[in-house]
């Protein structure tokens, strides 16, 4: 098991996860675990799904309010927000990506876990260029929904 304080890699058991129904609808998973003065995620959300007691606190998600629009993904300076959605036996993961070359829709990419280990392949479904951050949606096998958090083009 990873220890974020020691190796900087988050273990998903420390996250409050959405229900199956919420996963089918799509939900933003906020993997922000360090209390730093930051809150653009709160301001970016059109439905008020992300809240914070004060700017030094951790963001709190209301999965019922999330419409999986992904606006929070490209705005987070910590690259800590991912939108996940179940679709039959596949999963769609929307993640921030700040490297080149730009991912191309329809192409296969390698998919990586939180530790940067390659765990399989995915297909690029959508790319939105948000300033210097690409917001990329990939399709992977369903069992990788909470595993994949990066890609290698």
- Residues lying near ligand SF4 in the complex (CB under 6 A): 28, 30, 32, 38-41, 44-45, 47, 49-50, 59, 66-72, 76-78, 80-81, 83
Whichever of 70 and 137 has its CB closer to ligand SF4, that residue is 70
CB of 34 to ligand SF4, least distance (A): 8
Choose among 95, 79, 74: nearest CA to 32. Answer: 79
DSSP 8-state symbol, 56? T
Query: Smallest distance, Å, CB 41 to ligand SF4?
Result: 3
In the bound state with ligand SF4, the residue whose beta carbon lies nearer, of 35 and 108, is 35
Closest separation between CB of residue 75 and ligand SF4, Å?
Answer: 6
For the chain, how many helices (H) and strands (E)?
3, 9
**For residue 152, what is the DSSP state?**
E
Whichever of 9 and 153 has its CB closer to ligand SF4, that residue is: 9
CB 54, min distance to ligand SF4, A:
11
Q: Which is nearer to ligand SF4, 78 or 120 (CB)?
A: 78
DSSP H stretches of helix in the chain: 4-7, 20-25, 40-44
Residue 73 vs residues 17, 88, 125: alpha-carbon distances, Å: 17, 24, 16
If the CB atoms of residues 9 and 119 are measured against ligand SF4, the closer one turns out to be 9
All residues at 6 or more sequence positions from 26 whose CB lies less than 8 Å from its CB, including other chains: 66, 67, 68, 83, 84, 85, 92
Shortest gap between Cβ of 101 and ligand SF4 (angstroms)? 25
Q: Which residues contact 55 (CB under 8 A, 6 or more apart)?
A: 37, 38, 39
């Amino acid at each position: 098991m990873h220890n974020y304080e020691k190796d900087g890699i988050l273990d998903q058991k420390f996250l409050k996860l959405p229900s199956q129904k919420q996963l089918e609808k799509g939900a933003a998973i906020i993997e922000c675990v360090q209390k730093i003065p930051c809150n653009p995620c709160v301001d970016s959300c059109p439905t008020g799904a992300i809240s914070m007691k004060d700017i030094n606190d951790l963001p709190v998600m209301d999965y019922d309010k999330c419409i999986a629009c992904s606006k929070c993904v490209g705005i987070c300076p910590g690259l800590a927000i991912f939108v996940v959605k179940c679709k039959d036996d596949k999963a769609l993961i929307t993640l921030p990506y700040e490297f080149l070359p730009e991912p191309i829709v329809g192409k296969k990419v390698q998919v990586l876990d939180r530790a940067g280990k390659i765990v399989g392949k995915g297909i690029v479904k959508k790319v939105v260029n948000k300033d210097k951050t690409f917001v990329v949606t990939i399709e992977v096998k369903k069992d990788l929904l909470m595993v994949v958090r990066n890609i290698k083009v």
